[in-house]
Amino acid sequence: MTNTYLSRLIQRQAHKYGEKVALKYRDYATETWKPVTWNRFSELVETVANALVSLGVEEQENVGVFSQNKPECLYVDFGAFRDRVVTIPLYATSSEAQVHYIVDDASIRYLFVGEQYQYDVACRVQALCKSLKQIVIFDSEVKKAAGDRNSIYFSDFMKMGADLQHHEEVDRRSSASSPDDLASILYTSGTTGDSKGVILQHSNYEAAFEGHRMRLADLGEKDVVLNFLPFTHIFERAWSYYCLDCGCTLCINLRPQDVQKTIREVRPTAMCSVPRFWEKVYAAVQEKINETHGLAKWMMLDAIRVGREHNIDFLMNGKTPPPVLHWKYQFYERTIFSLLKKTIGIENGNFFPTAGAAIPYKVEEFVHSVGIHMIAGYGLTESTATVSCEWKGDFRLGSVGRVLPGLNVRIGEDNEIQLKGGTVTKGYYRKEARTQAAFTEDGWFRTGDAGYIRDGFLYLTERIKDLFKTSNGKYIAPQAIETKLVVDRFIDQITVIADERKFVSALIVPEYSQVEKYARDHRIAYADRKDLLQKPEIITLFQTRIDTLQQEFAHYEQVKRFVLLPEPFSMERGELTNTLKLKRAVVARNYKDIIDKMYEDTGE
């Protein structure tokens, strides 16, 4: 291959599909979904490529995209690929310090920004960075700062390439491109506080495409895919590129908080998500069951029981369900399961990839029982997303599926999952020591995750660096405990405390609406949320539910004390990464006094 696959992807698809819709996005002014055909997509990509040359962007130069999901993000990505330019996505919620670090580290001269927040942050950063030359603003509603004569709107940027005067140079660059060229640098969210730029070459994406073609058999031009996770996240980014390669229609969700409404409008056949999405579905169904009585409640419970027996006890294990069980399942599929899927907006569902955190067993069991094809998977930025994934009818509860074709996995020291293959990064940008430390002497990438392979399926056990050791010398896997407890409808967020402590404790962010409803139903008077969470009846409620859920853990692993927090963990206080992973060190620092108090005056 003399040129990169992505550099001509949109052109090829436009030639194939023409006026078929490639993208849709919501116009919030008219509350309608605007279509973009493949032909128009290709035209816009060519215009971006010409405009980048007009700006003076050089081959293999780094360009930043600091925005929420917008179609413009894809136009810039593929325009950059035409020019052999590297794109660096920044999370739309990134702080000024994070943006400053990435712009400096990657020597970014041109930064595309989405809305007012990103523009304001970028302006402040520009005053501090030597490299940042110009800001290009996607949203025409953004109000520029007084005295800003340098930033331009995306419409003005596009005028620079409108006449395609540099088309020969663009074609020359595309023809000169190589699979070894850098395509992206994705900065990890940094749960340990150290953000690293993961280098992804075009060859990494091409290897990922090839592996997914062999694994995901029936994704194609009839699929309507909702983009919910940020394009900045490798999971959504690589998935979206692959969907475009398959001829799918992408529907871009601009505002994450609108996703429930968006799903019902779009009715997607596929959507990437994190387990938290399905946890909320599970919690909503459990709440509905709790509020229902009589025959209706019995039918809901029986439907889930029948589904579990049919899809898990039999089909998952390669057995044929008995005729009577199959008949019952079909009945519930046409009635209760169909209604559930329509309520969510996924009645047209093909399959739904899910990764990014551990999936609670009860949630996974429920989703498969009601006939939703949730495809659990495991991956890293460093592996261009997918390491392993399940497929329809080929899954095991608790596993993260079979290893992607073309990728090699071995279990190393401390049961660490180690990788080698075409999708694996060559290392971290400008960080030779960190790159060297990330690989074994014989060239396998260290994931830092522990696990095992059984019957061809990969299972994760814990994050090696996250293992806690109590002061009594016992090892605790906090994620296992948190995953077990977070399925409770009264718990929204939880972090386990145990490292160098006498016993396990937890900080819990309750599902406030559920607690307030419980207080109303049980006539518990309270002054405010903080007062409510300190009521003995509420403490007892949580203690009882936690004790029930953690019975399977050894005594030393069980949560002995906990505090209910009146405010959720937040990105603003540095407690969550942009991908909503918890920064344990920051939480430990921010809540030091509360944590220390839990360990005072105990006899344990």
Grouping H, G, I as helix, E, B as strand and the rest as coil, residue 69 is coil
What's the pLDDT at 189?
Answer: 65
Nearest to 254 by CA among 398, 71, 376: 71
The pair phi, psi for residue 422, each rounded to 5°, is -65, -20
What's the pLDDT at 87?
Answer: 98
Q: What is the pLDDT of residues 44-54, one digit of tens each?
A: 999 999 999 99
For the chain, which residues make up each domain, given as ranges? Answer: 38-177, 467-598
Spatial contact of 449 and 479, defined as CB atoms under 8 Å apart: no
Residue-wise DSSP of 361-410:
HHHHHHHHHTT--EEEEEEEGGGTEEEEE-BTTB--TT---EEPTTEEEE
Specify the DSSP element, H or E, that contains 103.
Answer: helix 96-105
Spatial contact of 163 and 47, defined as CB atoms under 8 Å apart: no
Count of C-beta atoms within a 10 Å radius of residue 440:
14
What's the pLDDT at 206?
Answer: 97
Residues with Cβ < 8 Å from 349, sequence gap 6 or more? 268, 269, 270, 341, 372, 373
The pair phi, psi for residue 398, each rounded to 5°, is 90, -15
Domain 38-177 has CATH 3.40.50.980: yes
What's the pLDDT at 316?
Answer: 95
The pair phi, psi for residue 507, each rounded to 5°, is -105, 125
Strands 385-389 and 402-403: antiparallel
Report which DSSP code applies to 140: T
Nearest to 111 by CA among 135, 131, 144, 93: 135
Residue with tokens 């194939």: 16
Residues with Cβ < 8 Å from 448, sequence gap 6 or more? 416, 463, 464, 465
- What are the residue ranges in the chain where pLDDT is below 50? 1, 192, 603-604
Report which DSSP code applies to 309: I
- CATH fold for the domain made of 467-598: GMP Synthetase; Chain A, domain 3 (3.30.300)
Tokens describing residue 196: 């690293």
What's the pLDDT at 1?
Answer: 45
What's the pLDDT at 193?
Answer: 53
Q: What is the pLDDT of residues 377-422, one digit of tens each?
A: 999 999 999 999 999 999 999 999 999 999 999 999 989 999 999 9
Q: How far is CA 186 from CA 88, 130, 195, 404, 471, in A?
A: 6, 21, 10, 21, 38
Count of C-beta atoms within a 10 Å radius of residue 190:
15
Nearest to 189 by CA among 381, 405, 60: 381
Considering only CA atoms, give the Rg of the chain: 25
Q: How far apart are CA 477 and CA 380, in angstroms?
A: 20
Specify the DSSP element, H or E, that contains 266.
Answer: helix 259-266
Q: What is the pLDDT of residues 331-375, one digit of tens each?
A: 999 999 999 999 999 999 999 999 988 899 999 999 999 999 999
Q: How far apart are CA 120 and CA 114, in angstroms?
A: 10
- pTM, two decimal places: 0.87
